[in-house]
Amino acid sequence: MSSRSAVSVCGIALSNPVIAASGTYGYGVEFKRLADLGEIGGIVVKGLSREPMDGNPAPRLYETSSGMINSVGLQNIGVRAFAAEKLPELRGAGPAIFANVFGYAVDDYTEVVRVLEDAEGVAAYELNVSCPNTKHGGIYFSTDCALLSELVAAVRRVAKRPVIVKLSPNVARIEPFACAAEDAGADAISLVNTFVALAIDAETRRPRIGAGFGGLSGPAIKPIALRMVYEAARAVKIPVIGMGGIANGIDAAEFLIAGASAVEVGTANFWDPESPVRIARELDRFLERQKLASVRDLVGTLKMN
């Protein structure tokens, strides 16, 4: 990868702007034999909770037209096991390591971050706010600006590393939530998370997913994701990390043009574990064809008129 691909996002140096998205690349270590991790800008590990979680009943994945519905249920080994067993093996692999953090109350998030603050090798935290706050009657952090602000501010008080907030697209307008995250102390935002969706088996008249509803991702959501990234990037001054259906280097370039400073690749990893490496190379070749000295020259260059 050439030097023109190098970027910095909230002070974190990345060899290129392509990051493997949370929930699609395990804890990173599982992919060491499948891809050259050193050629990926970063890896967001699967969501970490304060205690281990078993996740949702099977089936958890269902392929749709130009996409995928998943309802894994945030299965994970817990933050302490990750810090003790997975992170040491991942350190030194090359990419920046982002810890995806989730919970069902503010204290859950802050406790996970406290544990990780003592761990070496984490570059930043990405807060998955698409969870219901059980202390507030099941209201989702991602759909209530006040709850989102409370959560981000609480994590900001305990985190010495950068805090990235991963926003949900399941809202009427994304700008208020992007601004709420920024005002509460977020160093960057990432979007979009999956769209709430339903697939039905007409023969059995039952959902295709064990938990009923799931999250839709993949190329089908890319046009909506691009629009929301553009809107969010115009609303805030902090960096935006874009995602949603990225499958090749041109897709990645489109998100950068919309205003993203970096991108995350998710669903494509399920059918091609080398997707982040391939997409980074394709993006680099695009920059060369465009005669751009730096990927930064592409960011926010959309001409709407």
Give catalytic residues, as residue numbers: 131
- C-beta of residue 98 within 8 angstroms of C-beta of residue 126: yes
Enumerate residues 6+ apart whose C-beta is below 8 A from 224.
169, 192, 195, 244
**130, 82, 125: which is closest to 103 by C-alpha?**
130
Please identify which residue in the block is written with the tokens 């093996």: 89
| Run of H or E including 67 | strand 67-70
Count of residues in the chain: 305
DSSP strand pairing (200-201 vs 188-191): unpaired
d(CA 241, CA 193): 11
On whether the CB atoms of residues 120 and 91 are closer than 8 A, the answer is yes
Collapsed DSSP state (helix, strand, coil) of residue 31: helix
- Amino acid sitting at position 96: A
How far apart CA 257 and CA 233 sit, in angstroms, is 11
| Bridge-based pairing state of the strands 67-70 and 7-9 | unpaired
Joined together, the tokens standing for residue 132 give: 């219901």
